[in-house]
Amino acid sequence: MALRNLQEFVAELERLGELKRITARVSPYLEISEITDRTTKAGGPALLFENVEGSDVPLLINAYGSERRMTLALGVESFAEIADEISEMIHLSPPQGLIEKMRIAGMLAKIAKFPPKRVRSGACQEVVLTGDDIDLYKFPIITCWPDDGGPYVTLGQVFTKSLKNGARNVGMYRVQVFGKNEAAMHWHMHHDGARHYREFCAEGKRMPVAVAVGGDPIMPYAATAPLPPMIDELLFAGFLKKDSVPLVKSKTLTKENGYNVDIEVPAEADLVIEGYLEPNELVTEGPFGDHTGFYSLADKYPAFHITAITHRKNPIYATTIVGKPPQEDYFLGKATERIFLPLAKTQIPELVDMNLPIFGVFHNFVFVSIDKQYPWQAKKVMNSFWGTGQLMFSKIIVVVDKHVNVQDTDEVWFYVGANVDPKRDIVFMEGPVDILDHASPMHGIGSKMGIDATKKWREEGFDRDWPTEIVMSDEIKKRVDERWKEYGL
């Protein structure tokens, strides 16, 4: 079931017993973060804080903090539903007859409904604040951790467009609030939003940016999905929800107001922050308690000048915290791992399964199982990962044989201990690493490690006999299964 907005999402979460309303008065400075951190680590529900100091707007957090809530936001029963549909689409074979042609034509017709659509008005603009009425502090923007540089918008969908071709990007980048109408935009150099900013800087042009909060629960996930630059995140969101995402023209970020591109925003958003970045105007942003479990250091990022705030008459402010896992963002990442597995298999055909384990905070560890067909194939797979999109940031890759369940981390480590000779089976590679990797010798540049935990072949230089694994016979397993109740165990 596709949900249109945050109000419908909250109602469904509450109906399913997945949401707790907090009526006690709480502070947006650290207190909400501590409550949420304890709740998330205990596997608790989404939290709706209805009485936040300094604001009349309720705050929703931990809405994506379980697989059940994540699939609810995506409108499916399991991530496999989406993965299977993607797999079917990318494995379409040439039609052999009329029925097959009709089937493919129907699928293409379905895809054609996905592009975003412009509408004349939207709930996100029921209230419009400009000039002296602009005040970011009217909203319960939280300070997450004690050494954070200030309050942060942490679950915003950041809308930008390319100066060169007008292509839209929707990313999720944190925004530090400095005042009623002043903030900073934090994005990493490899992000599409940063690429757009470099285009505007090169031409000396002011760059329009809109940050949407809340709205369609699919949108935060779409903004984090690792899509190639030519694929619009709103097209992907439409594919997920099987309906077009409605957009309205922003109030101030238009060509009529002197910008080179028009910025459209989601009609169903709860809150939209409109503003601009001046070319090469940087301010100190940070520190910020990040998903790595450590503070990312203060650095220079673009100043974000607010030109308007628009919102629903009764908005809900959606936010999140990141820090030592488990946190809410783990489930956003797990959705990407499962949904994009079929696409990864098109680039790495021997790939059976992969796991970004919770302790690896997305980029520190990747566990991979493969259908090994030739010598040193595990090393080939490592290099494929290091050359594919954001997988290039994988610090440590462990490759195991196809029968190993990579979702069971203890099982993976068992085969690392059993099958690995450190001198022979560990390889190192140098290249780009995640900007947040504080252990790398240079900012964004460092080393990566691959561990080949597959069974070794004579063709790989292993001259000894490899022992047979201990496995009970299927006959005995079946007999014990059938008689289990007899044993009284």
pLDDT tens digits along 195-220: 999 999 999 999 999 999 999 999 99
Catalytic residue among 216, 290, 437, 452, which? 290
Q: Where are the beta strands (DSSP E) in 16-135?
A: 19-22, 46-49, 59-61, 117-118, 127-130
Rounded to an integer, the average pLDDT of 103-129 is: 78
Class of domain 348-460: alpha beta
DSSP three-state, residue 266: strand
Q: Average pLDDT, stretch 297-308? A: 97
pLDDT in tens, 57-84: 999 999 999 999 999 999 999 999 999 8
Share of the chain above pLDDT 90, in %: 84
Residue 470 one-letter amino acid? I
Q: What percent of the chain has pLDDT over 70?
A: 95
Ranges assigned E (strand) in 39-120: 46-49, 59-61, 117-118
Tens digit of pLDDT for each residue in 457-488?
Answer: 999 999 999 999 999 999 999 999 999 999 99
Per-residue confidence (pLDDT) for residue 96, from 0 to 100: 52
pLDDT for 90 beyond 90: no
| Band of residue 151 on the pLDDT scale cut at 50, 70, 90 | very high
Residues of the chain with CATH 3.40.1670.10: 348-460
Summarised one tens digit per residue, pLDDT across range 355-371 is 999 999 989 999 999 99
**Using one digit for the tens of pLDDT, what is the confidence trace for 272-297?**
999 999 999 999 999 999 999 999 99
Beta bridge pairs of residue 19? 46
By CB neighbour count within 10 A (0-12 exposed, 13-18 middle, 19+ buried), where does 106 fall?
exposed
- In CATH terms, 6-318 corresponds, of 2.30.110.10, 3.40.50.300, 3.20.20.60, 2.60.40.1240, to 2.30.110.10
Average pLDDT of the residues of the chain: 93
pLDDT at residue 230 in the model: 78
- Phi and psi at residue 442, to the nearest 5°: -130, 155
Mean pLDDT on 313-323: 97
Residue-level length of the chain: 489
For tokens 């490759």, the residue is: 399
- C-alpha span between 4 and 249 (Å, rounded): 19
Q: What is the pLDDT of residue 334?
A: 94
- Residue 98: is its pLDDT beyond 80? no
Q: Is 290 a catalytic residue?
A: yes
Please list the residues that pair with 300 across neighbouring strands.
284
Does residue 43 have a pLDDT over 80?
Answer: yes
Q: Please, are residues 260 and 141 in contact by the beta-carbon 8 Å criterion?
A: no
Asked whether the predicted pLDDT for residue 102 surpasses 70, the reply is no
pLDDT of residue 68: 96
Angle at 71 between CA 75 and CA 338, to 5 degrees: 115
Written as six digits, the tokens of 129 are: 């604040």
Given a cut of 60, is residue 16 above it in pLDDT? yes
Helix (H, G, I), strand (E, B) or coil at 365: strand
Question: Which residues make up the CATH 2.30.110.10 domain(s) of the chain?
Answer: 6-318
Task: Report pTM.
Answer: 0.91
pLDDT at 112: 54
Place of tokens 């040439």: 94
Q: How many whole angstroms separate alpha carbon 447 and alpha carbon 429? A: 5
Asked whether the predicted pLDDT for residue 402 surpasses 60, the reply is yes
